[in-house]
Amino acid sequence: MRGQDHTGRMTPSRRWQLAAAVALLFVATAAVGQVVQVTTVPQLTGQQPPMSIQPAKPTPKWVVDDMRRMRNYPDQPPIIPHSIEGYQLSVNTNRCLSCHRREFTQGSGAPMISVTHYMTRDGQMLADVSPRRYFCTACHVPQADVPPLVPNKFRDMSDMGVKQAGSE
């Protein structure tokens, strides 16, 4: 073929091109190395170094006064105001439903689970709790008497001076 050296040696122009490509590769690698910096995620609490072995803190006391709490924001799932220690929650058993299912609320005095828990994601009503809403503790959690991990700066619209529509 035309322009190729069949002796197996590299021509000076090929050497120059190869050297330029290798130099460009080193420069690009160095540039990427400077852009990517390893950072550690800041700790939420405490002064322990990451991955250190520390004794576990005692389990906090759960708030078990059975008082319904005000929600902090619209659409917040209600918290569980009672102990759920020892409750079985598996594919076959959900102890929460023994009190909170529609047909058991009158006898137990527990609030009925929302009708949205009986809907498919397409809005189709079901006779029983939707499988995607079956594991209650995915959204609902018991409340512990502990300080917050991060400060809450949420402000409700009414606290910001916004008036409801039609209140004038």
Q: Is residue 141 part of a domain?
A: yes
Q: What is the CATH number of the domain that holds 100?
A: 1.10.1130.10
Q: Is residue 108 part of a domain?
A: yes
Helices (H) and strands (E) in the chain, counts: 3, 0
Q: Is residue 157 part of a domain?
A: no
Q: Is residue 163 part of a domain?
A: no
In tens, the pLDDT along 81-108 reads 888 888 888 888 999 999 999 889 899 8
Q: State the pLDDT at residue 37.
A: 57
Q: Measuring CA to CA, which residue among 156, 103, 151, 98 is closest to residue 127?
A: 103
Q: Is residue 100 part of a domain?
A: yes
For the chain, how many residues are written? Answer: 168
One-letter amino acid for residue 1 of the chain: M
Count other Cβ atoms within 10 Å, centred on residue 117.
Answer: 20
Q: State the pLDDT at residue 19.
A: 85
Range(s) of the domain holding residue 70: 61-147
How far is Cα 150 from Cα 43, in angstroms, rounded to an integer?
A: 10
Q: State pTM to two decimals.
A: 0.56
Q: Is residue 86 part of a domain?
A: yes
In tens, the pLDDT along 24-64 reads 887 777 656 555 555 666 666 666 666 777 788 888 888 88
Q: Measuring CA to CA, which residue among 120, 96, 119, 117 is closest to residue 108?
A: 96
Domain count, the chain: 1
Q: State the pLDDT at residue 2.
A: 59
Q: Is residue 104 part of a domain?
A: yes
Q: Is residue 118 part of a domain?
A: yes
